[in-house]
Structures are given as C-alpha cells and as structure tokens.
Amino acid sequence: MSEFTNDARKMLELVGGRENIVSFTHCATRMRFVLADDKKADVKGIEALSCVKGSFTQGGQFQVIIGNKVSQFFDEFSAVSNMDGVDKQEVKKAAKGNMNLLQRAVANLAEIFAPIIPAIIVGGLILGFRNIIGDIKLLEDGTKAITEMYPFWSGVYNFLWLAGEAIFTFLPVGVTWSVCKKMNVDQMLGIVLGITLVSPQLMSASDYVAAVEAGDPVKYWDFGSFHINMVGYQSQVIPAILVGLVFAVIYRFLKKHVPEVISMIVVPFCSLIPAIILAHTIIGPFGRMLGDGLAGIIMAGFNSSFAWLFSGIYGLLYPLLVITGLHHSMLPIDLQTVATMGGIYTFPVVALSNIAQASAVMAFVFVNRKDAKAREVGIPSFISGYLGVTEPAMFGVNLKYLYPFVGAMLTSGVMGIVSRLFGVIANSVGVGGLPAFLSMRGDKILVYILCIVIDIALAFLITVVLSKTKLKDMGVHYESGK
C-alpha cells in the first residue's frame, strides 16, 4: 500500500465516484478531472485530505493541487478507480463541453501558445543577459559595459543573438506550426507556411516603412498587371495565427472532399499555395493592422498622462484575469507589442503580481507559523510562486483563505503604479517570478530589482494586517493541522 492509497480511495468517492468522472490526467502539480456534474464533487471533503493543497475549477476542469508527487498519486488513483487516465489534450477536449464560447476561444488560444512559451521565456532571458553584459555601464566608474572591456564577453554577446533571433524574428514559424498541431493538420506544411512569412528575401515591416518614407524602391513580386510587395511578418504573432487558421481550414476541407488516390498531391499543394497568396495579400496585412491596433491601444494607455493609473488598474485586475483564464488572451497582444513597439509595460506588472501572490502566501505561513499544515501547504506554494508558477499559491492558499488574495491584489495594483512611475519596460515576456528582472531593459534592471523588494515587503505587510481584520473570517475557516 502506497502513501496515497487511502487518499486516492477517498478522492474517488468525493469526486462523485467512477460514474461522475468523464476523464482525468495530471500536470506538474495537479490532478485534472473532467466531471459529468461538478456539483457532485465534495470540495470541502477533498481539500481536507492530507495530500491535497487546494482545488479550483478552471477551463471546464476540476483541478486538485497535490504537489510534486502528483504522478505517484495519479498512478494510485488509476489503480483504485480501475480507470485509465488520458493525456492532457483529451482532457482539454472533453472539458470544452463544460465551457461557453468565450472560454473555448481562450482555451484554444492558450493551447496554441503553450508549446512555444518555453522558447519565448528563454528568449526573454537571453535578451536580459545580453542587456546586463552589453548595455549596462558597470565598469570604469559607470562608463563602460562588460563587453567593452573583455573580448570573451563581447563574443558571448554577439553569439547569443543567434538564439535570440531564432526565437523572436522567426517566431511566426513556431506559431503556424502550433496552429497546425492544434488543428490536426500537416505540421510540416505549417512550418513551411511560417517560413514564407519570415524568409530572408522579404523586407521587414520597419525596413519597408523606412524605404517608403525615404522614397527608396521597395522590393515586390511583379505579376504584370499587378504586384505584391515583398514584406515579411518577422516577429509578428497575430498575422501568423490568422494565416495558420486559414491554411488549416483549407487543408481540412480538401482532405475531406478530395479522393484518397490523389489526396497526397492535391491537398498539400492546393492548401499551401492559396494560404501563402492570402498571407501576402489580405490576411497578413489585415493581421498586422489588427495586431498593431491592439498593441497601440495598450501602449497608448501606458503612455498617456494617466499611465500610472492605467498601470495600477491593470495590476489590480490581473489576478482576476488569471482566475477566469483570460490572461492567456493577453500573450499574443504582448508579443505583438514587442514586435511593434520594441518593448512592453505589461510584463513588469504581471511579474510583480505573481511575486505578490507568492509573498502573500509567505505572510500566510508567517501568520500561522506554529501550524505544521500551514507550513506544509504554504512553503512549497510560495517557492514555486517566486519561480513563476503561481497556481499553487493563488488557488491553493490565497483564494481559499481570501485575505492573502486581497493582500496580493492590492499590492499588485500599487506596484503597477510604482512600476510605471519608474518607467520600467521589458524586452519581452519572461519568467513571471523573481527571475523577471532579467527580461527588463538594461537601464531598468536595477530599479526593477528595487520594485521586487518593495513588492515582497508590501504584500507581506498588507497580508499580515488583513489577517487581523474581519476579512479573515470571510474566507474558508482555517483549521489547524498542528
């Protein structure tokens, strides 16, 4: 008998039995259930189990936080239930039956970007490291950068751009591939489609604008009676999504209607070529206009005379976006803003919000420091939160007991104001925790580290103060595990 056998049996009963489970799987820290009837799950009973650190419902899934040993619990649950778990994609597909139209759209968007987020984070860290060694004057009384003093680090600086360019300049290739993967169409053709958006023979959007303003000739494909400008979509996200979706629709239509005997020849050719033509005539330009418009709206708010207020409201409301899952819809806009404006104000606020969530849990542990259960649940949660994984902190502790969530939310709003007043801007999206300072522009790294210190102290202080108010009684009543 394993350490989870009894809890697994109890959980099977508490989620409503086998007949109430449509499917289940697990991720890094959570069991994920799709239930036929969510109301049959005894949430209080489940959260009282010794191995459970919290639970929440999101994206049509009932998710139970187990921790790093979730894979062991999953195996034991599969054994006692005599049911086989499925992979995450099958669970997500089943969960969509419990979603409304908006939730499905956001879930699909999240699934497109999930496979490429690690690359985006690595790219942000690379740019941040290059900033530290190449753009910040750290030596010779603040007059020279490390790369100006040491040839080795100059070589590192130049070499790392190879990875940075591969990730950000050619990002549309990853996007079109992921769209095709999501839509279950030929992924290699998706890669080819992406390459046609970023080919070296294409001008970048900035080079095109500069050429037009200077009156210089613009490269184009000449078709006699008309021509198409040879302008690419390097670093562009929204055009790549739209082009990928159109290609997938054409491909699936042809795959369904073209006879099998000629399908291998007709379907790839007659789906790829029209998609490329549409990409460079209608969809691409529209996608760029749409993306630039959305990016412009966000940047207008952060650059307005009330930028500090806009940033504060964004910070205050961001935790609510996470609860609803709508934060996933911000990623393509953020990436488009980076491509269009060269940086973003949103990510510094997002990272400070995540750090505030982790710090609120640390305050919760401090308030209940004499209790073993609080330490067991809280310490892993705030450590993972500081490293950018906030679900255990937010759903396992803060929302459950409410006052830590309010403390983190208020801190996030205040730090949104502070961040904007300091003019903090990020090169790109990165790790949404303590390592976030590496994603900031070189001249803002030190001031952002100061913001992180203020963020931690403020979230801790506000949460401790709120623990002594009536707000503490509005959440789940804390039961000592002493």
DSSP 8-state secondary structure symbol assigned to residue 280: I
Q: How far apart are CA 155 and CA 147, in angstroms?
A: 8
Q: How far apart are CA 336 and CA 234, in angstroms?
A: 10
Tokens of 216: 């210089």
Of 272, 316, 298, which is closest to residue 416 (Cα–Cα)? 316
If one counts every other C-beta atom within 10 angstroms of the C-beta of residue 473, the result is 10
Type of residue numbered 446:
L
Residue 270 is a catalytic residue = no
Q: Catalytic pick from 27, 51, 180, 451?
A: 27
259-263: Cβ within 8 A, 24+ apart: none
- The H-assigned helical ranges of 258-325 are 260-278, 284-303, 307-324
- The H-assigned helical ranges of 59-170 are 70-81, 88-95, 101-113, 117-134, 146-149, 151-168
Of 246, 234, 233, which is closest to residue 285 (Cα–Cα)? 233
- Report DSSP letters for 210-252, one per residue: HHHHHT----EEE-SS-EEE-B--TT-SHHHHHHHHHHHHHHH
Given a contact cutoff of 8 angstroms between Cβ atoms, the answer to whether 417 and 432 are in contact is no
- The H-assigned helical ranges of 56-116 are 70-81, 88-95, 101-113
Catalytic positions:
27
